[in-house]
Structure 1
């Protein structure tokens, strides 16, 4: 993933939302991937899958509705690459960080503490663990760049994250966060769900450039013009935003997972988009 917006509320009003997520996956167009679905090996898990040779089965974004101690519980794992950091020649596949999290029974805090032991084996990342339970809405962050340990984030007022550390956000993240907050404040009821989804997709397809941005210029000077947009499109590099994902969890525990993704093989100049919806429940 390359940009992520989160809103959570442990005690939403009637017909309100406990969780709203909007996120983009930016990736090489030729990299094969399976679209979002319930996983064959575990129907509690929903997400896309990496099909790249040597990285098969990994994921960038997935959720699990498997109960914990017989209690309803939702866990969402998100992985954001961090641009402009030194790369390992033989780094482990980061997609398994999410796979291991949604397959475990550990809390986000405990999982991150275990992850830290071997985090130097991966290229730079932001890992976000979101947990929704009875009267519970927690969001945890960890990056192996600064290795500050578990950081609990306040997502009750809306939060944006991207390809830099949280304390040095890119300008597009800040601009998107402000627009995301406005959308959530206006359409945060189930009666407005269609409009909420429409506005979130517009946000994820936003092509305005947010420059100047010293942090982005430091991290990716060659591609700063393109990467300053929420919707990234670099045809000459065969790279860009190829998947938009939205997750909604309402006050009754109903889950809507919507994915709008380019159909493979991707035609760079005239991509075909397909919208898929999966419903579940806590």
Structure 2
């Protein structure tokens, strides 16, 4: 159950066009490679899932052409094994120059397991274009407007207590971001937002959506932005993506090596900065 905080601002002179901060929550034993240039698609930078059947997939990534995307699971009953896996959707979007909304619309007639997906780009005018689609809420793909959005294992900008709690912290950081350089902003998002283990338990809405899957002890840990203290699963990676006024993309990932998220020495860091090479998309 991942969580993605995202803010974009297309106003002239905005220091940061895009600020995205995300936690990936996953089984701690799931084989994963830290963020790197994708071995099959050198235009893409992302963490890489190495689980059998979805090898080479990812949950969040950027492309050198100015595209970005993130995917979250949906908290629900056990996934339907007859449905398509979703682990390569982000890669499929990033590897081609397809428009965000066109790509999301192409998923409507397919039967993937439940997901929420963000697909964005810097357009030819230097503006952020961002689409969103969830295949489980009955709504069509949409373009989002400037501002803040939070995507987690529920509806867009849902009412889980940890979403509201994290959004307040995120908005406070956004309010100060114009006076912060890339390094300071990245560190602030990692430390103050993504590493927040404040438990917002109990949360009736989250509990209802998990259909009795988790014990109260596990639910208490799940009710925080950063999930830690559970033996089998928790926050595995933390990613910051910043796009500045000059179309410089700054990508930072912290990846957990081991099972103790509270031990900051167990985390490794990967960072990339580059200027987006913006091209016109192929529209369907």
TM-score of the two chains, using structure 2 as the length reference: 0.88
- TM-superposed CA distance for 1:147, in Å, is 3.1
Cα distance per residue 1:128-164 (max 9 Å; x no partner): 112222242122111111231112223x332212110
Aligned to 2:177: 187
2:85 aligned with 1:96, yes or no? no
**Secondary structure at the counterpart of residue 271 of structure 2:** strand
TM-align CA RMSD:
1.9
**Secondary structure at the counterpart of residue 158 of structure 1:** strand
- TM-superposed CA distance for 1:204, in Å, is 0.1
- List, as ranges, runs of 4+ consecutive aligned residues in structure 1 with deviation greater than 6 Å: none
Unpaired segments ≥5 residues, structure 2: 277-284
Unpaired segments ≥5 residues, structure 1: 67-73
Aligned to 1:259: 253
Aligned to 1:7: 7
Task: Identify which of 125, 133, 149 aligns with 2:140.
Answer: 149
Total equivalences in the alignment: 267
Aligned to 1:235: 230
Task: Identify which of 64, 68, 75 aligns with 1:83.
Answer: 75
Work out whether residues 38 and 46 of structure 2, in 8 Å CA contact, stay in contact via their aligned partners in 1: yes
**Secondary structure at the counterpart of residue 188 of structure 1:** helix
CA distance in 2, matches of 1:208, 1:12: 36
- TM-superposed CA distance for 1:233, in Å, is 1.6
CA distance in 1, matches of 2:143, 2:184: 30
Cα distance per residue 1:196-220 (max 9 Å; x no partner): 1121012100011123322201122
**Secondary structure at the counterpart of residue 225 of structure 1:** helix
Which runs of structure 2 are paired with 1:97-246 in the superposition (5 Å)?
97-118=89-110, 120=111, 122-133=112-123, 134-154=125-145, 156-166=146-156, 168-189=158-179, 191-202=180-191, 203-220=193-210, 221=212, 222=214, 223-236=218-231, 238-246=232-240
**Secondary structure at the counterpart of residue 233 of structure 1:** coil
TM-score of the two chains, using structure 1 as the length reference: 0.88
